[in-house]
Homo-oligomer: A and B are copies of this chain.
Amino acid sequence: MSVTTAKGFVAAGVAAGLKSTGANDVALVQNLGPSKAAAAVFTSNRCKANPILWSQQVITDGVVEAIVLNSGGANCYTGAFGFQTTHETAELVGTSLGVSSGDVLVCSTGLIGVGGPEFRANVLAGVTLAAPLLREDGGADAALAIMTTDSHPKEASVTSTAGWALGGMAKGAGMLAPGLATMLVVLTTDALVPANELDAALREATRVTFDRLDSDGCMSTNDQVTLMASGASGIVPDAAEFRAAVASICGTLATALQEDAEGASHDISIETINAASEADAVTVGRAIARNNLFKAAIFGNDPNWGRVLAAVGTTDAEFDPYDIDVTINGIRVCRAGEPDQPSESVDLKPRAVHLLIDLKVGTSTATIRTNDLTHDYVHENSAYAS
């Protein structure tokens, strides 16, 4: 259940001094082939970190030999020196593994603005340490190395009865908002799948999983989801089964990110039904997911449906503002724009919260996942840099 579950992949995770705690902070994953097909999606933030700028070039030919990831510094807004650090990191991985640096993806995560000489020295030292440690059971060490404020490593896998496997790791606990990828994720499979099909499966999956996770409305500058296929199983998978597996593992990892969101005490699924279009359903869900008053109310176990409707009313989705139903954890508290069941009958003590918005104008549905706004969120994010 890791990035080395699929045959043909080796990984390592080492402590290179980037984290003051001495925990793992540099991860390396190599594809031993025979196929080196890969696909990746990147943050849509226009302020992109240096590793994103580098990796976007690497992925253009659909060939990836290895991916190197570090925590302890985002290498974003670190200027020409920072880009050179990313370049040197890929060069060192290439030399160490005997592959082209142009086929090495680089990911960084941590504070923006961190990427000076000490950062560079630590990352390069990490690569030197990690390369000889690459192992078929190194996935767990790698997953530890990409953690930032995550409380635990996040791994998952899917095994097909046809004989191929798909595994992966993710990091992410804050700055979770859409724009394709908003975290670091590495997926590996030993199925034999060409790059264009990997790309299609990955985009289809991320669109309805990571892209619908909106913990705090804040989009990162560094996030990347990568899918690499070694073909080591020798099996060409059924296309539909493979796409479903990619969607499944993305869903599993997205749930793990949501459940570990910084300071959160509730995981909220906002399901919008009977919308005129899927885009409308997403728009409505996202408006609610970003409404601080609603999120603070859920923290206080207050089923405040007025704040839900006030958020819905800010969107351009198609609906009659006075014919919307709102159901919270199975209790319909608002029907057609009037109070329905008493709010007191809603039990918000469980961590999982289900909010159902019935727009009554069409047949489309979408679910956005978010978290509540808590004292701990404010605390963690006011003290992060110190």
Contact = CB atoms under 8 A, between A and B. Distances in A.
A128 interface: no
A231 B362 CA distance: 52
A34 interface: no
Contacts of A47: 309-310, 312-313, 321
Interface string A195-231: 0000000000000000000001111110000000000
A377 B296 contact: yes
Nearest to A335: B79
Given A112-B306, A321-B47, A386-B302, A314 B77 contact: no
Interface string A33-65: 000000000000111100000000000000000
Contacts of A293: 174-175, 216, 218, 381
A238 interface: no
A171 to B, nearest CB: 17
Nearest to A299: B382
Contact of A45 (B74, B216, B313, B386): B313
Interface string A305-327: 11101111111000001100000
A218 B46 contact: no
Nearest to A324: B47
Contacts of A311: 218
Interface in A244-294: 290-293
A229 to B, nearest CB: 31
A334 interface: yes
A213 B45 CA distance: 25
Contacts of A297: 381-382, 384-385
A111 interface: yes
Contacts of A220: 310
A83 to B, nearest CB: 10
Nearest to A317: B46
Given A300-B383, A379-B375, A113 B221 contact: no
A306 B175 CA distance: 12
Contacts of A312: 47
Given A47-B309, A306-B112, A292 B78 contact: no
A381 B219 contact: no
Contacts of A299: 378, 382
Contact of A310 (B175, B307, B314): B175
Given A221-B313, A292-B217, A310-B220, A77 B382 contact: no
Contacts of A45: 310, 313-314
A232 interface: no
Nearest to A300: B382
Interface in A332-367: 334, 336-339
A70 B75 CA distance: 53
Nearest to A382: B300
A127 interface: no
B76 A306 contact: yes
6 contacts: A47-B321, A79-B336, A217-B290, A217-B291, A302-B382, A377-B378
8 cross-chain pairs, A with B, having the tightest CB-CB distances, nearest first: A112-B306, A300-B382, A47-B313, A296-B381, A79-B338, A45-B313, A46-B313, A47-B321
Given A112-B307, A378-B378, 4 more contacts: A47-B309, A79-B338, A290-B290, A375-B378
